[in-house]
Chains A and B, each alone.
Chain A
Amino acid sequence: MSDEKEKKQVEVTLIWGGTGESKKTEVKTSDTAGAVFELVYDRFKQKPTPEDTFEVDGKNFPRADFARTVEDLLKEFGEKLTFEVTPPGSGA
């Protein structure tokens, strides 16, 4: 049973907020949000910074929640998840 859960995949959208570029990819439902956000950096060839901000489906997503699984997020946000990382631009 746990193997089945491990293998289940869903399509999610990754967004780099600095340019608005988006890409679709498949992730496991057992993946953590933190792992999916790492995919954003990887796919858009960007480096993480401590000031980056994170959103899932357009809602602020704190680093403290990075251990939550995709399966858990599907229950809260629905089937079409978007993971967005925005580099810092404030400080005016």
Chain B
Amino acid sequence: MALSEIAKLALKEHLPDLIEGTYARKYGWQVDMNWETGLCHVRLTCPSPSGEQGEMDTYMLQLAFDYYNMEQPGVRFVSPADRRIGERDEFERWWPNVEGNPFINMQLVQDNPAKSYLCFQWTHEFKETHAALADGDAKKWDPNKHSVVGVVRMVQRALNSSHYKGYRKK
């Protein structure tokens, strides 16, 4: 889906922080924005809980900006190798196990991997699947207090938490 003018303007303001801001430098994010498809891919890493010391797990977050930044970006994990959503027997390899963390839930749809999503207030999929929050609710998406950088940071926060148990499937 082509980006709206509003999305382009917002992304031009927010992408520098996503690419080389405080969090990007701290966590080593690698960002690839495709202006033609409107999709952004962010390579995330975190310490592997089961591997040797220093071993890192790698994830690829795919962000869509169909309604950005008036609304949240779309967010899901895809294959780090070829950025596919994947089929039912494989897609869980590319999603993390962070069950019990207080930041985000993972809603995996086995029969339709494309419908899997990250469940917290700052994703478009959350907005699509939950009742609207009341105006004034502190969790409600607000373009003046949230951006795609905060969204990616929230995912990284879950990956770096003690709740991270590695890839959902090997």
Contacts and interface: CB of A to CB of B under 8 A. Distances in A.
Chain A interface, >50% SS class: loop
Contact of B149 (A20, A82, A88): A20
Interface residues of B, number: 26
Contacts, number: 74
Contacts of A89: 103-104, 120-122, 139, 146, 150, 154
B103 to A, nearest CB: 5
Contacts of B105: 92
Nearest to B122: A89
Contacts of A49: 138
A34 interface: no
A22 to B, nearest CB: 4
B138 A87 contact: yes
Interface of A: 13, 15-22, 45-46, 49-52, 58, 82, 86-92
